[in-house]
Amino acid sequence: MRDRLLEVRGLDAHYGDFQALFGVSMHVAEGEVVAVIGANGAGKSTLLKCIAGAMAVRGNAVLFHGVPIGGGPAHETVARGVALVPEGRRLFPSLSVEENLLVGGQIGRKGPWNLKRVYELFPMLEERRHQPSPSLSGGQQQMVAIGRALMSNPTLLLCDEISLGLAPIVIRDIYARIPAIAAEGLSLVIVEQDIVQALKTARHVYCLQEGRVTLHGEAKTLTREKISAAYFGV
């Protein structure tokens, strides 16, 4: 049995007076790919922000290697080995492709990921390494965002809606790289609205609806019908 890398226990999250998460619990084992699915507004991105240190978390609601990580700033969470690929990519528009990637390595963590390895994973980025990042297509920008996160050599990679707004062929191309990323010993949490993609990619699936976990289990035991019922609350 693989050790638990991440554990979320009864997590609540608020934006002012608005409560976005209600007692959310989940866990991720070492080397595991977990998908969190749900419609817009389900609380998926909020969950990732809490794990990544972008939102304050009370007490021991988020544990990484058994240590609470919710109280510190985001850069300390990155230094521990947690990296976020944010929704919308959020590249630095004034920097080239390669400069954006190098930003991800500034934390100085040791590990297998460097420019050479990222370019091996995404060869088209090496061809465009000196181009300004806004000149790339949406799919290429998403590859830069993933590469930038990998450059920090995380043990846990959080991917927030990496297929959003991309053509199906580009989505397939990006998801085809996930096994190579996981093969380096990383664990991944992938936020996704596409039920089929989640079942194909993940070992475990959690479904969020209105800030609550409505279903979870091994992907191989879940049907699209069960997930759809939890997804839409019907």
Strand partners, 19: 14
Rounded percentage of the chain residues whose pLDDT exceeds 70? 97
Q: Which of 69-83, 124-138, 220-234 has the lowest mean pLDDT?
A: 220-234
pLDDT band for position 234 (cuts 50, 70, 90) = low
What's the start-to-end Cα distance of the chain, in Å?
Answer: 34
Give the chain's domain count: 1
Question: How many helices (DSSP H) and strands (DSSP E) are in the chain?
Answer: 10, 10
- Does residue 128 sit within a domain? no
Condensed to tens digits (0 to 9), the pLDDT of residues 194-229 reads: 778 878 889 999 999 999 999 999 988 887 777 777
- Judged on CB neighbours under 10 Å (0-12, 13-18, 19+), 115 is middle
- CB environment 148-162: b (16+ within 10 A), e (fewer): bbbbbbbbbbbbbbb
- Does residue 213 sit within a domain? yes
- Does residue 66 sit within a domain? yes
For position 196, which CATH number holds?
Answer: 3.40.50.300
Rounded percentage of the chain residues whose pLDDT exceeds 90? 50
- Does residue 94 sit within a domain? no
Instruction: Take residue 172 and report the two structure tokens written for it.
Output: 């397939």
- Does residue 216 sit within a domain? yes
Phi, psi torsion values for 198, nearest 5 degrees: -65, -45
- Does residue 96 sit within a domain? no
| Residues 129, 102 contacting (CB under 8 angstroms) | no
* E strands, the chain, in order: 4-15, 18-29, 33-37, 62-64, 67-68, 82-85, 156-160, 187-192, 204-209, 212-218
- Does residue 35 sit within a domain? yes
- Does residue 105 sit within a domain? no
Its pTM surpasses 0.85 = yes
Condensed to tens digits (0 to 9), the pLDDT of residues 73-84 reads: 778 888 899 999
pLDDT band for position 48 (cuts 50, 70, 90) = very high
Q: Which domain holds residue 64?
A: 4-89+154-232
